[in-house]
A and B are shown apart, each in its own frame.
Chain A
Amino acid sequence: MFDFLSGYDLLGAFWVTVQLTLLSAVGSLVWGTLLAAMRVGPVPLMRGFGTAYVNVVRNIPLTVIILFTSLGLNQTLNVQLGAQDFDTINFRLAVLGLIAYTSAFVCEAIRSGINTVPVGQAEAARALGLNFTQVLTLVVLPQAFRSVVGPLTNVLIALTKNTTVAAAIGVAEAALLMKKMIENEAQLLLISAVFAFGFVCLTLPTGLILGWVGKKVAVKR
């Protein structure tokens, strides 16, 4: 019944999906945290930049960003991202696009987490004489992160699903393989079920495990 699977590297395609997800997750966590720090910081120019970045990027379709990295950055501006062959370049471009897009949502999640930290915490930290960077990194962000595990999990699940957009620039991940298999094989429903099952396997456990972690680490107030 599943002999149509032979000849296709199903696990390989899902492995690319996982790699895209993990690399973009780390990248967007870092860049998103920096953006959030800019948005709550004392320098007006950085606040303005953070706000503008989030508002613009959130309102552009991810597909436009991903296609732009290929057609605009790579083919027009010759950005190679240190890679030589076509596949590696496209993979890195997709990661870059996913980071640029996802970090806007990470930033908003972390900012909402900062809002859940009681005012007294930051006031006490300032009373001790800590400066802005110390207040943020030693007192506020550690507590904020513990309360945003839930929202960040939603961002991570959305990111996992968003990696399929990389198919638009020919990254050999699950959605592209599905398209190819549907064109070549007859069992439409079975193929679709296999890929749907693959994504359910990726997203449901993420939600369950991180949901449990989120409950564990949340600050009881």
Chain B
Amino acid sequence: MSSSVLYDAQGPRAKRRNVVYTIVFLLAVAGLVWWVYQNLSDKGQLDWEKWKPFFSGSEAWTTYILPGLKNTLIAAAMSMIIALPLGAVFGIARLSDHAWIRVPAAVVVEFFRAIPVLILMIFGNALFAQYTNVNSDDRPLYAVVTGLVLYNASVLAEIVRAGILALPKGQSEAAQAIGLRKTQTMTSILLPQAVTAMLPAIVSQLVVIVKDTALGGAILTFPELLAAVSPMSSYYGANTIASFTIVAVIYVALNFSLTSFASWLERRLRRAKKSTGAVLAPAAVGGTESAGTAA
């Protein structure tokens, strides 16, 4: 239902009323903005001095922001690369005909989906500290990637499962009819089509991963983008607001382009004539992207 179904075409009175609503809403927003502005300028947070580091000279970028962004991207990429095959294995295991494979896989997937990523990260951090000799500088990265892999592999397993189930039944029936084994049906008929159908959902899961890396910065001293805020604001004279704004803008730009790419992919796949028409929308599994978790 498009939104215009909810209200009639506007006559002169409705138009006047809408102008009134617009003005009232504008005043409310303007009031809030004014209050924030007043407060910020009282505290000197809007002084050019506080914002200068980001717009003139590259020191703030090369010392704090870009290395942080690099670590964010490394952690996200590593997590995705490790979680994807793991998720595929568990997703396929959940579709197995054998209960002794299907049930344990389901238990593992549901278990890790029910636990906050942060708990997994804290666990990973302590695990590496106590039982391995991973260098303490690398440990936060290991812990962040461990937490993200455990959680996202189980989410991806659900995406893979949903992707395979979304294919028309005729695909596996036709494969059986020409005498393919179960493994052959899966690897040469179902998976290749399911991967295409899953692409949008996988890309938007990447957004969740990128957002969750910030947890490592806040709790585990992983030097990623968010962790750059506090050394940056103390070095440039308490420009907390400016630092937060810049970091938030980078996150939004990065994730918004990923989200847009995912929905572009989805539209493109829906249009494509070759496919079976099975497409997994970005938020099809787990409902809420990341509301996923922390993020």
Contact = CB atoms under 8 A, between A and B. Distances in A.
Interface string A154-168: 110111011011011
A56 interface: yes
B25 A45 contact: yes
A215 interface: no
B226 interface: yes
B119 A151 contact: no
A113 B5 CA distance: 15
Contact of A109 (B36, B40, B287, B292): B287
Given A175-B116, A182-B126, A195-B119, A162 B291 contact: yes
Nearest to A144: B1
Interface residues of B, number: 68
B287 A161 contact: no
Q: Which of A43, A59, A109, A154 has the most CB of B within 10 A?
A: A59
Interface string B243-285: 0100110011011100100000000000000000000000100
Contact of A61 (B123, B251, B288): B251
A123 interface: yes
B40 A200 contact: no
Contact of A165 (B7, B118, B288): B118
Contacts of A200: 111, 114-115
Given A122-B1, A155-B287, A200-B114, A59 B256 contact: yes
A49 interface: yes
Given A76-B241, A158-B288, A161-B294, A49 B115 contact: no
Interface in A154-188: 154-155, 157-159, 161-162, 164-165, 167-168, 174-175, 178-179, 182, 188
B24 to A, nearest CB: 10
Q: Which of A117, A140, A150, A179 has the most CB of B within 10 A?
A: A179
Nearest to A59: B255
Interface string A64-91: 1011100110011110000000000000
Q: Which of A63, A162, A196, A199 has the most CB of B within 10 A?
A: A63
A1 interface: no
| Chain A interface mostly | helix
A179 B288 contact: no
A209 interface: no
Contact of B288 (A44, A109, A122, A174): A109
A68 B45 CA distance: 14
Nearest to A152: B287
Interface stretch (B84-92, B93-101, B207-215): B207-215
A206 to B, nearest CB: 10
A126 to B, nearest CB: 6
Given A109-B288, A151-B288, A179-B219, A161 B6 contact: no
A115 B14 CA distance: 24
Contacts of B219: 167-168, 175, 179
Interface string A200-211: 100110000000
Interface of B: 1, 3, 5-8, 10, 14, 18, 21-22, 25-26, 29, 36, 39-40, 43, 45, 110-111, 114-119, 122-123, 126-127, 130, 207, 210-215, 217-219, 226, 229-230, 238, 240-241, 244, 247-248, 251-252, 254-256, 259, 283, 286-295
8 contacts: A41-B6, A63-B217, A63-B226, A77-B36, A105-B291, A155-B291, A196-B119, A199-B116
The 8 A-B pairs with the shortest beta carbon distances in the complex, nearest first, are: A154-B287, A158-B291, A59-B255, A61-B214, A161-B116, A63-B214, A61-B211, A168-B218
